[in-house]
């Protein structure tokens, strides 16, 4: 949107910004109210009274965004021009080295009984159990038909694989039936260029199934999200701010690493994320902190638990605010209404707090207050980084 003029406008100074993303925080009405309206959020509401509020569309009107596009928009990148496969995000988030031309996929260990998928997540085995399986695979296979691969546990039953061959292209249908009680589904190429990659993925699955034969609950794997390494301008080069991405789950660390953010390892809880933020506040100009659990509750269709997770997110704000960011933005990467049990197209509330933020008439951080009283109105998600830069006084005047 602003690529043609952005480099002309960037100013570097000592201001610091914080982007807090409560994943899937937006919703829609159930019995006349949303999860945000039902939650007790004294800290968010206090901030709302001295901030600018509005609603943002991560991709566009009526479009339901995945987590990848939603976050890319928040980071100031066009999610349509920069379409990123989940395999790359899982690999980067797991700390794997991914070079230009590599093909990355994400996978689940799964349970196969009588030729049918009985459990897509192998009884949700732990990361420790998955580590043992990955060691078995490494000990018995290092390449598939001459194509070298690396494999690493992402979290729990999930893993990532990187195939090192620039000839492998990513236009491939997932090798995952998405249902139980059906046979495994092979990867299929959508074009001739990707046929070799689909073949390698299917042979990888066969090899894993052979190595894990007779084991329970994990005796096969499902593979999806094939993606080649994208060519994307690093965040610091684009916006002139040294960035850090703080997240627990690999995918969100992968999104942060994709755009060049430093990502600390070993974080397991919201409290640990906040401690990391406080400890490293002086080391970076831009901090992104991700809170996952609002989305998980929404996808489970649990209205009350999503309310509780919103309240947990709110409870961490007093510690976060002690760092006194020059600009604070709170929003989500998409909405996840518990009534829908999935991501949705509904706009996401956004709050911008800072010295120059317009104090509007919103009294709470909710969808309705943002719509009825928010000065920001309805904005594209990509505009958020421009608002951050402007409120940090990091954009010079455009034109005479």
pLDDT of residue 92: 85
Which residues have a Cβ under 8 Å from the Cβ of 111 and sit 6 or more positions away?
Answer: 117, 118, 119, 122, 123, 216, 217, 218, 219, 220
Q: Domains in the chain, please, with CATH?
A: 3-84+231-391 (3.40.720.10), 89-228 (3.30.70)
Phi first, then psi, for residue 132 (nearest 5°) are -65, -40
Which parts of the chain have pLDDT scores under 50?
none
pLDDT of residue 1: 60
Q: Which of 102, 78, 82 is nearest to 229 (CA)?
A: 102
Which residues have a Cβ under 8 Å from the Cβ of 285 and sit 6 or more positions away?
Answer: 15, 16, 17, 241, 242, 243
Cross-strand partners of 105: 161
Asked if residue 163 lies in contact with residue 149, where contact means CB atoms within 8 angstroms, the answer is: yes
pLDDT tens digits, 41-93: 999 999 999 999 999 999 999 999 999 999 999 999 999 998 888 888 888 88
- CA distance linking residue 152 with residue 130, whole number of Å: 9
pLDDT of residue 7: 87
pLDDT of residue 90: 86
pLDDT of residue 115: 95
- CA distance linking residue 110 with residue 91, whole number of Å: 19
């Amino acid at each position: 949107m602003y690529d043609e003029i952005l480099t002309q406008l960037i100013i570097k100074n000592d201001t610091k910004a914080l982007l807090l993303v409560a994943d899937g925080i937006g919703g829609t009405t159930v019995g006349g109210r949303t999860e945000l309206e039902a939650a007790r959020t004294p800290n968010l509401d206090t901030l709302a009274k001295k901030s600018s509020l509005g609603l943002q569309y991560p991709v566009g009107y009526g479009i339901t965004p995945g987590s990848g596009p939603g976050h890319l928009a928040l980071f100031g990148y066009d999610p349509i021009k920069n379409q990123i496969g989940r395999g790359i995000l899982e690999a980067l988030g797991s700390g794997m080295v991914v070079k230009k031309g590599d093909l990355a996929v994400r996978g689940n260990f799964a349970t196969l009984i009588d030729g049918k998928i009985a459990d897509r997540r192998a009884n949700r085995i732990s990361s420790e159990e998955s580590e043992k399986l990955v060691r078995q695979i490494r000990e018995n296979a290092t390449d598939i038909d001459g194509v070298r691969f690396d494999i690493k546990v992402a979290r729990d039953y999930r893993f990532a694989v990187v195939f090192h061959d620039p000839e492998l292209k990513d236009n491939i249908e997932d090798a995952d039936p998405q249902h139980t009680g059906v046979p495994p589904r092979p990867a299929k190429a959508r074009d001739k260029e990707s046929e070799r990659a689909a073949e390698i993925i299917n042979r990888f699955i066969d090899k894993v199934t052979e190595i894990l034969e007779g084991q329970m609950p994990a005796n096969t794997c499902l593979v999806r999200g094939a993606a080649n390494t994208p060519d994307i301008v690093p965040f610091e080069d684009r916006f002139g701010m040294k960035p850090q991405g703080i997240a627990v789950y690999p995918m969100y660390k992968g999104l942060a690493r994709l755009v060049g953010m430093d990502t600390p390892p070993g974080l397991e809880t919201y409290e640990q994320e906040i401690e990391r933020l406080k400890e490293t506040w002086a080391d970076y100009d831009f901090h992104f902190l991700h809170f996952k659990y609002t989305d998980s509750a929404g996808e489970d269709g649990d209205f009350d638990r999503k309310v509780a997770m919103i309240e947990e997110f709110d409870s961490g704000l007093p510690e976060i605010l002690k760092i006194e960011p020059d600009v604070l933005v709170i929003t989500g990467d998409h909405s996840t209404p518990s009534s829908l049990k999935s991501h949705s197209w509904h706009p996401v509330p956004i709050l911008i707090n800072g010295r120059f933020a317009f104090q509007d008439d919103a009294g709470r951080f909710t969808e309705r207050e943002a719509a009825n009283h928010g000065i920001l109105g309805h904005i594209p998600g990509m505009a958020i980084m421009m608002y951050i830069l402007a409120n940090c006084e990091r954009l010079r005047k455009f034109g005479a």
